[in-house]
Amino acid sequence: MFSFLAKKLKFLQLLKKNLSQDQEEQNKSPQLTANLKTNLQMIKNILGNSDDIIIRPFVLGTKDQQEAALIMIDGLIDKASVHDFIIKPLMLESRSLNDNDSLADSIEELTETLVCIAEVKKVKTLDELVNDCLKGDTALLVNGHPGALIINTRGWKSRGIEQPQTEVSVRGPREGFTETLRVNTALIRRKIRDPDLTFETMTIGKRSKTDVTIVYLKGVVRPGLVEEIKKRLKKINTDLILESGYIEQFIEDAPFSPFSTIGNTERPDTVAAKIMEGRAAILVDGTPMVLTVPLLFIESFQTMEDYYSRPYYASVVRLLRMLSFFISIMAPATYVALTTFHQELLPTPLALSMASAREGVPFPAFLEAFLLGLAFEILREAGIRLPQAVGTAISIVGALVIGEAAVSAGLVSAPLIIVVAITAISSFAVIPQSDASAFIRFILFLLASTLGIFGISVGLLGILIHLATLKSFGVPYLAPFAPLKPADLKDTLIRFPLWLMITRPSSITKKDPQREKWGLMPRPQDDNNKG
């Protein structure tokens, strides 16, 4: 016990030491001086002799002949903007402007007279200058003026707005997020044109320096949610952030749970709808996947297309998704339990048919199901990683040729092939829970192999208890079922008409609860009032 406490105390001391070292490194950032040559030498010492670093010296004005320089990264800048709106005005127009008068008394005045780009700011430290240049901005330094101007000239090549491949819909917008952060924020702004829509950006990753933006709607967002997100993001101390999955694993509530407590999507309309319900979104530069918090378990069975269709069909499809989820986790386990322990529960004709199909199979039922399930997972992974044309061919060969040959050779039984096929198809109906369903399917399979239906019951009870203990940023994962909130049940198992969804989900937020007026149900026009 004492050794455990000593290790914990040592770990806390080491963590405190690392935090103090990081703070000291931030405070040691050198200041930019008024001497241009000194500044350029410091920049060269940091950036080295990399070929993509461009340092462009030139002269401002004709009377004072002030030396100046631009620092930029080739490939990250828009060269046309740098040439037309920075270099050309500073080199040519500054001469006519300053024939009789001296150049601007401060570097900030250049933004009012010569620099023709909207987004300009001044920095005083060397680290700020280097970080902004590595993001695609251009730095302007003028001899005799301390500090530097950072001019927004970002213009790298990016993928266009396309339909998301992972969330295809029949009805709805055909646009998805891209790898460019500012494009993604614009897509959300187009959906929610409200002045209360707020974007807050911070930089995470000591070496990657990745921009991460929190998006929320003031006056609607769940109280304390934004502060909690910022708190968790600020605790991340790592070298590299490449994708939103990095962020998700650092800030999730239950890292050891198979169920994700953070949502992700590529669709701007999905993010806009969640923000309007009181959630917040987390955008990461360099990835089209956007995180949303808090997340409820019921959201796994909802899609945006449910709200674009009429409520009757949308409700039926939603129930089918729930049924598909239960089939995907229970089908193999139920087959093994019935064929191994509980044959008396099967109708006599079905039991005889299954027994004759398994005649000659050299493996017991649980080993047969395990090997076939393993083969399916291998085929699915191969189909995903290979190019699309080859992956389709692999799936056809694996499903038809290998499966039929295995049954003909007597290695597996035909009923099990049907069970595995139904399990695979059902798992594809609920993609957000595909990872969790694979893990649960394996656990229930092991319990069914040893304890039969009793083992399946114990496993399902354990999963239910685990789900009831989960929270996502303070919100119960099983809400609005546990704790029960009858007012929020209008968008769970079935979807009520939109004109009945008058209030926002109270499980998510209690601020500004009413989102539409009462009495919006459409009514036919009275024949007596026809003009």
Per-residue pLDDT of the chain in tens (531 residues, 90 and over written 9) = 445 455 555 555 555 555 555 554 545 678 888 888 898 989 888 888 888 899 999 887 656 678 889 999 988 888 888 888 888 888 776 665 545 555 556 666 777 777 888 888 888 899 889 988 988 899 999 888 888 999 998 887 778 888 888 788 888 888 999 998 989 999 999 999 999 999 999 999 989 889 999 999 999 999 999 999 999 999 999 999 999 999 999 999 999 999 999 999 999 999 999 999 999 999 999 999 999 999 999 999 998 888 998 899 999 999 999 999 999 999 999 999 988 888 888 888 888 887 777 777 777 888 888 888 888 787 777 777 777 666 666 666 666 667 777 777 777 788 888 888 889 889 888 888 888 998 999 999 999 999 999 999 999 999 999 999 999 999 999 999 988 898 889 989 999 999 898 889 988 988 888 888 888 888 877 555 554
CA–CA gap between residue 458 and residue 470 (Å, rounded): 19
Q: Does any domain span residue 174?
A: no
Q: State whether 259 and 342 are in the same domain.
A: no
What integer pLDDT is reported at residue 531 of this predicted model? 46
Q: Does any domain span residue 480?
A: no
Tell me which residue has tokens 């191994």: 340
Hey, what's the torsion of the CAs at 406, 412, 415, 420, to 10 degrees? -80
Tell me how many degrees the CA angle 38-40-41 measures, rounded to the nearest 5. 65
Pairing status of strand 280-284 against strand 66-73: unpaired
Q: Does any domain span residue 328?
A: yes
- If phi over 0 gives left and psi between -120 and 50 gives alpha, with beta otherwise, what is residue 229? alpha
Q: State whether 323 and 300 are in the same domain.
A: no
Q: State whether 461 and 346 are in the same domain.
A: yes
As given in the structure block, the two tokens for residue 331 are 């089908």
What integer pLDDT is reported at residue 98 of this predicted model? 47
Tell me which residue has tokens 């070298």: 239
What is the residue range of 362's domain? 309-469
Task: Tell me which DSSP letter residue 383 carries.
Answer: H
Domain termination site, one of 286, 307, 328? 307
Helix, strand or coil for residue 25? helix
What integer pLDDT is reported at residue 17 of this predicted model? 55
As given in the structure block, the two tokens for residue 270 are 């999905």
Length of the chain: 531
Q: Does any domain span residue 419?
A: yes
Domains contained in the chain, number: 3
CA atoms in the 13 A half-sphere facing the CB of 432: 22
What integer pLDDT is reported at residue 392 of this predicted model? 63
What integer pLDDT is reported at residue 415 of this predicted model? 84
Q: State whether 291 and 353 are in the same domain.
A: no
Q: Does any domain span residue 393?
A: yes
Q: Does any domain span residue 524?
A: no
Q: Residue 432's closest CA among 339, 302, 268, 253? A: 302
Q: State whether 313 and 300 are in the same domain.
A: no
Q: State whether 445 and 422 are in the same domain.
A: yes
Q: State whether 319 and 446 are in the same domain.
A: yes
Q: State whether 245 and 345 are in the same domain.
A: no
What integer pLDDT is reported at residue 27 of this predicted model? 52
CA–CA gap between residue 69 and residue 143 (Å, rounded): 9
Whether residue 111 contacts residue 39, with contact meaning beta carbons closer than 8 Å, is answered with: no
Tell me which residue has tokens 């995907």: 328
CA–CA gap between residue 206 and residue 22 (Å, rounded): 10
CA–CA gap between residue 376 and residue 389 (Å, rounded): 19
CA–CA gap between residue 355 and residue 226 (Å, rounded): 59
Whether residue 43 contacts residue 59, with contact meaning beta carbons closer than 8 Å, is answered with: no
Q: State whether 270 and 196 are in the same domain.
A: yes
Domain termination site, one of 129, 151, 173? 151
As given in the structure block, the two tokens for residue 509 are 């937020």
CA–CA gap between residue 422 and residue 429 (Å, rounded): 11
Q: Residue 276's closest CA among 198, 189, 216, 214? A: 216
Q: State whether 231 and 303 are in the same domain.
A: yes
Burial of residue 451 (CB within 10 Å: 0-12, 13-18, 19+) is middle
Task: Tell me which DSSP letter residue 514 carries.
Answer: B
CA atoms in the 13 A half-sphere facing the CB of 447: 20
Q: State whether 195 and 109 are in the same domain.
A: no
Q: Does any domain span residue 167?
A: no
Q: What is the CA radius of gyration of the chain?
A: 31
pTM score, whole prediction: 0.84
Q: Does any domain span residue 170?
A: no
Whether residue 141 contacts residue 249, with contact meaning beta carbons closer than 8 Å, is answered with: no
Helices (H), 291-433: 305-308, 311-340, 348-357, 365-385, 388-396, 403-408, 414-427
Q: State whether 412 and 451 are in the same domain.
A: yes
Domain termination site, one of 277, 307, 337? 307
Amino acid at 490: K
What integer pLDDT is reported at residue 264 of this predicted model? 93
